[in-house]
Amino acid sequence: MATFADRWLLWLFLAPAIILLALFMYYPMVGTVIESFYETSFISPEPRFVGWAVYEKVVASRDFPEVVWNSIVWTLGVVVLQNVLGFFTALLLNQGLPAQGMLRAIVLLPFVLPGVVAAILWRFMYDPQLGLINSILIRAGLLENNAAWLADSSTAMAAVIFAALWKGFPFSTLIYLAALQNVDREQIEAATIDGAGPIRRLRDVVLPAIRDVVLVNVVLTTILTFNYFDLVWVLTRGGPQNATHIFPTKIFEAGFGQFRFGEAATYGVFSILVLAVLVSLYVIAQKAAVNRRGTA
């Protein structure tokens, strides 16, 4: 039974972390909520309290549904592709291939690159005249003329998702590779002796063993992707015609590009609400995983 002194000692050790969180996370969040009730502009920089008028203006605008839809497409596209590609890459790297250490280093290289550097690299690759993407597709007979991937609203989102997939799938590969190496080899050998093929072993042995890791990783990558900014901004700045505007890029453009801080804060509040739901799902998934391991 913890004594009164023990509880005070516990709070004393927690105090520095709590203070830092309050100063650098919760204080700005509260400030963002307050800022969303004020209206500012480049012409009129003095904040003017307008209550819920900014929320009504944002929700009624043409940009809001586009930003919401783009955020859904962007997040689902990146998360699904990143987890699928990361899982199968982890399966491949878990087979004991020759030069396995070098292969793992090559796979992890995109993840360790800064986001801005990766974005600049892909801008050159998507260049209509000199880009590697058009060159490869034309030589392969899949494309007749040079395509402006980032300047066309019908292809810009797919191009950005593909670049984000290249940048982010090594993270999932690393997580799934660690999980696969902890799968009980005796169960796999027993399934092999019973005549189970690779697909059945994957479905009946491997996937149930790493189910908790998959769930936690999906929720975590969803949080990271929804909140991702630098790659999208450097590649397209939300264009063309708002085709790739997501919540982080819209917040940056409205606040620092157009000086509409109230509108930017309003988008920030909506973003915080979505992230709060995703973080809650992440915590629930982690607790469920711990409980299942504890009762196993």
In angstroms, the CA 43 to CA 279 distance is: 38
CB 134 within 8 A of CB 48: no
In angstroms, the CA 296 to CA 294 distance is: 6
Backbone angles phi, psi at 39, to 5 degrees: -115, 130
- 48 sits in which H/E element: strand 48-49
Q: What is the pTM of this model?
A: 0.88
Q: pLDDT confidence of 1, banded at 50, 70, 90?
A: low
Beta-carbon contacts of 152 under 8 Å, excluding residues fewer than 6 positions away, are 240
- Is 80 exceeded by the pLDDT of residue 45? no
In angstroms, the CA 236 to CA 158 distance is: 12
- Is 90 exceeded by the pLDDT of residue 83? yes
Question: Angle at Cα 288 formed by Cα 215 and Cα 271, nearest 5°?
Answer: 60
Q: Quick one: tokens of 178?
A: 């660690």
pLDDT tens track for 98-117: 777 788 888 888 888 888 99
Kindly tell me the sign of the dihedral angle through the C-alpha atoms of 135, 139, 140, 146: positive
* Radius of gyration of the CA atoms of the chain, in A: 24
Least confident of 88-102, 229-243, 257-271: 88-102
Chain centre distance of CA 28: 22
- State the greatest distance between any 2 C-alpha atoms of the chain, in Å, as a whole number: 77
User: Which pLDDT value is given to residue 79?
Assistant: 95
- 39 sits in which H/E element: strand 38-39
Q: What's the mean pLDDT in 122-141?
A: 90
Q: What's the mean pLDDT in 36-60?
A: 83
Give me the domains of the chain, ranges plus CATH numbers.
65-295 (1.10.3720.10)
Q: pLDDT confidence of 43, banded at 50, 70, 90?
A: low
Q: Quick one: tokens of 292?
A: 């299942």
- 208 sits in which H/E element: helix 207-209
- Is 80 exceeded by the pLDDT of residue 4? no
Q: What's the mean pLDDT in 11-17?
A: 87
Please name the amino acid found at residue 83: N
Q: pLDDT confidence of 169, banded at 50, 70, 90?
A: very high
CB 71 within 8 A of CB 157: no
